Amino acid sequence: MSTQRTDSPRGSLAEHVPGFRGYLFELGYSVSAARKHLQLLADLSRWLEREGISADELATASTEGFFRRRRAQGRANLRTPRALDPLLAYLRALGMIEAPPRQVLTDPVEVFIDGYHGYLTGERRLVEGTARFYLHVARLFVSERRGGEGIDWASLRAVDVTGFTTRVCGVRGVSSARQVVSALRCLMRYLRLEGVTGLALDEAVLSVAGSNPSLPRGISSAAVRALLGSCDRRRPIGRRDYAILMLLCRLGLRGGEVVGLTLDDIDWRAGEIVVAGKGGRRDRLPLPVDVGAALVDYLRQDRPRAWGRAVFVRQFAPIRGLAGTGAIRSVLARACHRAGIPYANPHRLRHTLASEMLAAGVSLGDIGQVLGHRGSVVTATYAKVDLEALRMVARCWPEVAA
């Protein structure tokens, strides 16, 4: 193993050692981890010099030979090209190297899916999780239309749509089948919008028969208290997770809404928070005192000030915004395990809040506004929760004379 000092390498990357060191510390790397990456920079700089490769060619040059040599030397860490991600990100921020070129798609199915993805996230403004499911359904449908020279749209008829619906939905439950139907209708409208077909094939998508008789499932108030109490607020990660759980439990935010929350969305003077919901909606909600206090504790003590605008970031290097709703589900899963209760996803916490508000006499319209529902039909589901109120307005079943 080389004993050359990492703060004085030679080669085209030598001048970037001080800046890269500071960049690593901003990302939350420990002194030991930063030293390993600086040693990697030194080794790479010498290798580039021997190979006659300039630093600005690093983004496109193959470094497999460099890492093959590291593995042969018995290096215990940073042994694959992925180890260069922090260095490449730093050099891109300096403008030394360009972002990796966008992959050129040649497969007709993937070309279509790529355009459809842009429509879902750009025009429809679907969250990434929903868009991912819609793309899954679209890929299944389009793959069946693949022909020898591309995708066969010319012969697409209503019978093809209904046949696909019955095949895919036949093995699913009611809720899952309805999601497939919604995704398929969206795809059919997109095909007409793009001029692929002039037929209104969305009307050929069969509706799913059946209903879900169960009430919205929440968790008990005691379980909510146990969930919040499970966070060790003496530790940075405990304060962060507590603030996340408060947003889920007290405001009923969706996981994606928590991930997308930025520092600019919190109006401390007005005591309000702006939530970026489904379909590009931006709703202003009152910020309860206890939720605001949890956010202040995390922001003042634990969140790195120099990093971006996202409210919630990773606690370990590389420090960056949470990757997606999976991170929120992980926070919830750990809290449920500590509290000794079954796992409850963010939607169950929304149901819990709605049920508590309904029991306190809050109107369905106000509940829908807090939860960010686009229509009253979704909110009306919660009317089933208040069984006592329903019994008061229910008419008695007439007795049949013997």
DSSP state of 120: I
State how far the alpha carbon of 141 is from the alpha carbons of 113, 138, 153, 165, 350, in Å.
11, 5, 11, 9, 33
Residue 337: active-site member: no
Catalytic (active site) residue 384: no
Cis peptide leading into residue 304 (ω within 30°)? no
Cβ-proximal residues to 118 (8 Å cutoff; 6+ apart), any chain: none
State whether residue 325 is helix, strand or coil.
helix
Residue 284, SS3 per DSSP = strand
- Kindly give the pairing relationship between strand 282-286 and strand 272-276: antiparallel
Nearest by Cα to 265 from 251, 253, 283: 283
Question: Does the active-site annotation cover 189?
Answer: no
Write the CA distances from 375 to 228, 325, 364, 367, 378, integer angstroms. Answer: 31, 24, 11, 11, 6
Question: How many C-beta neighbours within 10 Å does residue 224 have?
Answer: 22
Q: How far apart are CA 377 and CA 387, in angstroms?
A: 18
Distance (Å) of CA 157 to CA 116, 124, 371, 402: 20, 25, 39, 56
Residue of 37, 46, 303, 350 with catalytic role: 350
CA–CA gap between residue 76 and residue 265 (Å, rounded): 44
Active site residue 382: yes
Residue 373 annotated in active site: yes
Q: Which of 16, 145, 185, 254 is catalytic?
A: 254
Q: Are strands 150-151 and 266-267 parallel, antiparallel or unpaired?
A: unpaired
**180 with 165: CB under 8 angstroms?**
yes
End-to-end CA distance of the chain: 97
Pick the catalytic residue: 278, 320, 329, 334?
A: 278
User: How many Å apart are CA 225 and CA 368, to the nearest integer?
Assistant: 24
Does residue 347 carry a catalytic annotation? yes
Task: Please give the Cα distance from 344 to 331 (Å, whole number).
Answer: 11
Instruction: Indicate the Cα dihedral angle 389, 391, 392, 395, nearest 10°.
Output: 140
Tell me which residues are annotated as active site.
254, 278, 347, 350, 373, 382
